[in-house]
């Protein structure tokens, strides 16, 4: 939050320097041409001093020059209108101070370069909306599990990979961006609460979630999925229950050769999800009939 505010303050400081400079130059041109030149010189000096001189020296320089300028413009006999005198007197300290603030903020942004790798790593591993691990992590874990199942013939290992897709989410996102993110957060919350601690949860993007379960029996997996379906069905979108596509695949020693890559299991789950939504649609027509 502090860094976000720092960026905003920096932008405001730069805008104020630019707007104040343009306004002062235009306003001073209404008096005399040499007044506009003097104003431009004061602005240029303020920017240079604010960008190049240490802050402590700037403070003393502002005090000294303001005092000297006051003596010359206000106490001396200079034929200049009072408003332009005051403008010339305060232009340098104000522009120098604003430029110094902007410079200090730019210097403070060194954390961006220092932590760039950490920021990129976090963005690649965690989805900011759902707070779940992303596709990158799902691929890594899946490939590790598959290699272990494939290479360890002496151990009876298996995993279940389940995919959940919020149907019609693309159309909803186009018109309700904020509500779309809230819906994703609700789905993620249900999965975090309902699924077992031993299961791994991922958000693959495009309103699609994945669950990788290690060595769960078919009975336990069915109970978990039925419970999750019920809880997800209680989430409403614009007053109506949301629809979901489901796909689940068990991978063991018998079929591991068919699902050696994440892309292959992904395509299979996509077909399963398309079949699931058609099946649910047909069930609904039978019940209504």
**Domain extent listing, the chain:** 2-112, 121-288
| Beta strands per DSSP E along 187-243 | 200-205, 208-214, 236-237, 240-241
Q: Average pLDDT, whole number, for the chain?
A: 80
pLDDT tens digits along 112-130? 555 555 666 666 688 989 9
Name the residue among 162, 165, 167 with its Cα closest to residue 237.
167
CA dihedral of 44, 45, 46, 52, whole degrees rounded to 10: 110
DSSP H helix total and E strand total for the chain? 11, 7
> How far apart are alpha carbons 49 and 92 in whole angstroms?
9
Q: β-pairing, 133-134 with 200-205?
A: parallel
pLDDT tens digits along 184-217? 999 999 999 999 999 999 999 999 999 999 999 9
Does residue 201 contact residue 126 with C-beta atoms inside 8 Å? no
- The pTM (predicted TM-score) of the whole model is 0.58
- DSSP secondary structure letters along 133-201: EEHHHHHHHHHHHHHHHHH-TTS---EEEEEEEETTHHHHHHH-HHHHHHHHHHHHHHHHHHS-TTSEE
Name the residue among 10, 101, 103, 95 with its Cα closest to residue 44.
95
Highest mean pLDDT: which range of 113-117, 224-228, 283-287: 224-228
Cβ burial, residue 163 (10 Å; 0-12/13-18/19+): buried
Fold (CATH) for 121-288: Alpha-Beta Plaits (3.30.70)
Q: ∠ CA(247), CA(251), CA(254), 5° rounding?
A: 135
> How far apart are alpha carbons 160 and 140 in whole angstroms?
16
Does residue 189 contact residue 201 with C-beta atoms inside 8 Å? no
Highest mean pLDDT: which range of 9-18, 19-28, 84-93, 266-275: 266-275
Q: Select the more confidently predicted residue: 218 or 16.
A: 218
CA dihedral of 63, 68, 70, 73, whole degrees rounded to 10: -150
């Amino acid at each position: 939050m502090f860094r976000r505010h720092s960026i905003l303050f920096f932008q405001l400081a730069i805008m104020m320097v630019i707007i104040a400079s343009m306004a002062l130059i235009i306003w001073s041109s209404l008096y005399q041409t040499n007044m506009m030149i003097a104003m431009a010189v004061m602005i240029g000096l303020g920017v240079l001093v604010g960008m190049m001189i240490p802050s402590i020296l700037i403070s003393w320089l502002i005090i000294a020059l303001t005092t000297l300028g006051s003596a010359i413009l206000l106490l001396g006999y200079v034929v200049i209108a009072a408003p332009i005198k005051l403008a010339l007197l305060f232009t340098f300290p104000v522009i120098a101070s604003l430029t110094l603030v902007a410079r200090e903020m730019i210097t403070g942004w060194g954390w961006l370069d220092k932590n760039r790798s950490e920021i990129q790593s976090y963005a690649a591993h965690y989805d900011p909306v759902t707070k779940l691990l992303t596709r990158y992590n799902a691929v890594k874990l899946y490939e590790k599990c598959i290699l272990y199942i494939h290479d360890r013939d002496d151990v009876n290992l298996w995993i279940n990979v389940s995919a959940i897709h919020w149907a019609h989410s693309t159309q909803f996102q186009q018109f309700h961006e904020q509500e779309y993110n809230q819906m994703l957060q609700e789905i993620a919350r249900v999965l975090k609460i309902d699924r077992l601690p031993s299961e791994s949860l991922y958000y693959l993007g495009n309103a699609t979630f994945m669950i990788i379960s290690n060595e769960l029996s078919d009975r336990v997996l069915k109970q978990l999925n039925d419970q999750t379906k019920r809880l997800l069905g209680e989430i409403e979108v614009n007053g109506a229950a949301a629809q979901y596509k489901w796909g689940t695949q068990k991978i063991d020693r018998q079929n591991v050769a068919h699902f050696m890559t994440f892309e292959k299991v992904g395509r299979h789950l996509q077909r399963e999800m398309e079949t699931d939504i058609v099946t649910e649609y047909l069930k609904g027509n039978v019940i209504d009939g």
